Amino acid sequence: MTEDEFLASLTLQLEEIMQECNSKVIAKICTRLNEMGKLSYSDAVKLANMTRTKDLKEIERILADTSGRSEYEIEQAVEKACEYNDAIMERFYKARKIGMDMFTLNAIKKRAIKSMKDGVLNLSNTTAFVIDGKPTSIAKTYRKAVNSGIYGLQQGMVDYNTTIRSIVRKIAESGLRKVDYESGMHRRLDSAVRMNLLDGMRQMNMEYRQEQGEQFGADGIEISVHGMCAPDHLYLQGRQFTKTHFRQINETLKRPIGTCNCYHSIFPIIMGISDTAYSKEELKAINDASKAEVEYTDKLGNVHTCTAYEATQLQRRQETTIRRLKDIQYAYEQAGDTVMAKEYAKKITKQRNYYKTMSAEVGLKPKMERTRIIKPKN
């Protein structure tokens, strides 16, 4: 398992918690719409007035519970990352015949946990939907959905579902999002949390290892290796440099190692006694695989050529598309719209088949676990 895969495994549980939170909130709104659609206009208004406060409090409880579960997962992930670092660096301490200064290292760990919690939690104030391109609070989104249902009943439309289909789709397509109200930037909650945690882990690892390197007197570094590496870092991965030489190189990069979603890690080493993790032959094979050209056919039947690395990015986009389709199908199921739920089931099957075919064309294994969504357990 590469380090990138190891870190990804540490974020998986937290990502699933956020996906489940998303499903619970969507279900709360859509099941209410389903209940209203079975009533007369006047009864639906009464139900809406009676349950609005209760529903919003329940959503607040869901968010609070998610925050509580997330705190524990963050602590566990950081603990495992530090244990991983300690195991890797142990041989250098032994070479210098010294022990680790855990007081300083534990201080770094505590700061990292606090920083990651601050970045991930406080969901009530930073989580919203994005409806028609505008961040909309959960409470406003709920009221907008309920009011749309009441309006449909008031108009006496033949099919109540026709009225609410648009708002249900918009809610599901958006999903819960982490919103920065100052910049206007927003990202799906599960994706935002995953990126925040991964970035926090990588930053902590750099600081933690730098401290360890200072303790055992590192005079060099080694850059980790991962498959399907981006072209700007391809020539650097797997190599060793003196600390001074690496600093000079890194300062010239537009995307320095370990930043801007870079999956590489920097390991402090003692020059002359540390063999590289990969031989020259192994590294060449990994890098050649990243640069290899592959062909795939798009949905219109057109053939395209791209690098193997670019193919992995295509895979990620297809996986995201499948998850979003599943979110919409689930929302329609909760709203009681069996017609649209079946329609989206067909879309999911078609998209999943294309994903498998495209993956086979470019020589990549489909990662079906990345296409699933986490539904409420109760």
How confident is the model at residue 81, as a pLDDT?
A: 94
**SS3 annotation, the chain:** CCHHHHHHHHHHHHHHHHHHHHHHHHHHHHHHHHHHCCCCHHHHHHHHHHHHHHHHHHHHHHHHHHHHHHHHHHHHHHHHHHHHHHHHHHHHHHHHCCCCCHHHHHHHHHHHHHHHHHHHCCHHHHEEEEECCEEEEHHHHHHHHHHHHHHHHHHCCCCHHHHHHHHHHHHHHHCCEEECCCCCCEEEHHHHHHHHHHHHHHHHHHHHHHHHHHHHCCCEEEECCCCCCCHHHCCCCCCEEEHHHHHHHHCCCCCCCCCCCCCCCEEEECCCCCCCCCCHHHHHHHHHHHHCEEEEECCCCCEEEEEHHHHHHHHHHHHHHHHHHHHHHHHHHHCCCHHHHHHHHHHHHHHHHHHHHHHHHHCCCCCHHHHCCCCCCC
117 has pLDDT over 80: yes
Determine what percent of the chain is predicted with pLDDT higher than 70. 98
Determine what percent of the chain is predicted with pLDDT higher than 90. 64
pLDDT tens profile 310-352: 898 899 999 999 999 999 999 999 999 999 999 999 999 999 9
Mean pLDDT of the chain: 90
Domain spans of the chain, in order of start: 1-217, 218-291, 292-378
Q: Which of 331, 325, 313 is nearest to 351 (CA)?
A: 325
Contact 87, 139 (CB under 8 A): no
More confident residue, 265 or 74: 74
Half-sphere exposure of 140 (CA within 13 A, CB side): 9
Q: Label residue 362 exposed, middle or buried (CB < 10 Å: 0-12, 13-18, 19+).
A: buried
pLDDT tens profile 205-253: 989 999 999 999 999 999 988 877 888 888 899 899 999 999 999 889 8
Contact 153, 40 (CB under 8 A): yes
Rounded to an integer, what distance in angstroms lies between the CA atom of residue 59 and that of residue 159?
28
**Tokens describing residue 64:** 């609070």
Query: CB within 8 A of 120, min separation 6: which ones?
Result: 14, 70, 74, 193, 196, 197
The answer to which of 100-104, 120-124, 243-247, 264-268 has the lowest mean pLDDT is 120-124
Rounded to an integer, what distance in angstroms lies between the CA atom of residue 313 and that of residue 319?
10
Place of tokens 């909130």: 25
Place of tokens 């870190």: 7
The answer to which of 20-29, 150-159, 192-201, 359-368 has the lowest mean pLDDT is 150-159
How confident is the model at residue 158, as a pLDDT?
A: 63
Angle, helices 3-36/308-334, rounded to nearest 10 degrees:
30
pLDDT tens profile 180-208: 767 778 889 998 898 888 888 988 998 99
pLDDT tens profile 23-51: 999 999 999 999 999 999 999 999 999 99
Contact 294, 313 (CB under 8 A): no
Paired strand residues for 305: 295
How confident is the model at residue 265, as a pLDDT?
A: 84
Query: CB within 8 A of 277, min separation 6: which ones?
Result: 222, 224, 225, 238
